[in-house]
């Protein structure tokens, strides 16, 4: 297993991301709410740069007890990112596609050591 340097901890603030080059592919590394998440930068749909799109909280439909639609809100506890090619959306904590839960991105381990952040390939 290879360790790939991502950034110095001080340079990777909450809400930031880095795209690093591995042997034959790229890996997107995110920092959110003090945790690190890393995924293959290849969309499960058509191979686009999945980790390079917009970041936003999950959109949730609000349904009242009488089953009427009340609008939508953002769930700040569930951050998502979107592939810029065709809009496929992924849960940052799991890498699972919001549109098709059978599809997910390959996940990588991230370690913090000596003031630096590394992804394990």
Question: Over the stretch 45-88, which tens digit does the pLDDT of each residue have?
Answer: 998 999 999 998 988 899 999 999 999 999 888 899 999 999 99
Specify the higher pLDDT residue, 1 or 40: 40
Write down the pLDDT at residue 59. 87
CB of 50 closer than 8 Å to CB of 59: no
Question: Over the stretch 81-121, which tens digit does the pLDDT of each residue have?
Answer: 999 999 999 999 999 999 899 999 999 999 999 999 999 98
pTM score, whole prediction: 0.87
Domains of the chain as residue ranges with CATH: 3-120 (2.102.10.10)
pLDDT at residue 26 greater than cutoff 90: yes
Question: Of 24, 28, 41, which Cα lies nearest the Cα of 110?
Answer: 28
CB of 93 closer than 8 Å to CB of 37: yes
Q: Which residues contact 72 (CB under 8 A, 6 or more apart)?
A: 59, 60, 61, 62
Token readout for 89 is 């959306």
Distance CA 29, CA 121 (A): 12
Write down the pLDDT at residue 76. 84
Question: Over the stretch 27-48, which tens digit does the pLDDT of each residue have?
Answer: 999 999 999 999 999 999 998 9
Q: Which residues contact 30 (CB under 8 A, 6 or more apart)?
A: 16, 17, 36, 37, 38, 51, 55, 81, 92
């Amino acid at each position: 297993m290879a360790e790939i340097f991502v950034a110095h901890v001080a340079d990777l603030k909450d809400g930031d991301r880095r795209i690093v080059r591995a042997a034959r592919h790229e890996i997107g590394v995110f920092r959110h709410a003090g945790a690190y998440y890393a995924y293959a930068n290849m969309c499960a749909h058509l191979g686009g740069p999945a980790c390079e799109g917009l970041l936003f909280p999950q959109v949730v439909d609000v349904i009242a007890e009488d089953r009427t639609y009340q609008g939508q809100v953002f769930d700040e506890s569930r951050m998502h990112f979107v592939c810029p090619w065709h809009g496929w959306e992924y849960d940052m904590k799991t890498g699972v596609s919001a549109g098709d839960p059978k599809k997910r991105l390959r996940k990588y381990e991230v370690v913090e050591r000596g003031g630096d952040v590394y992804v394990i390939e």
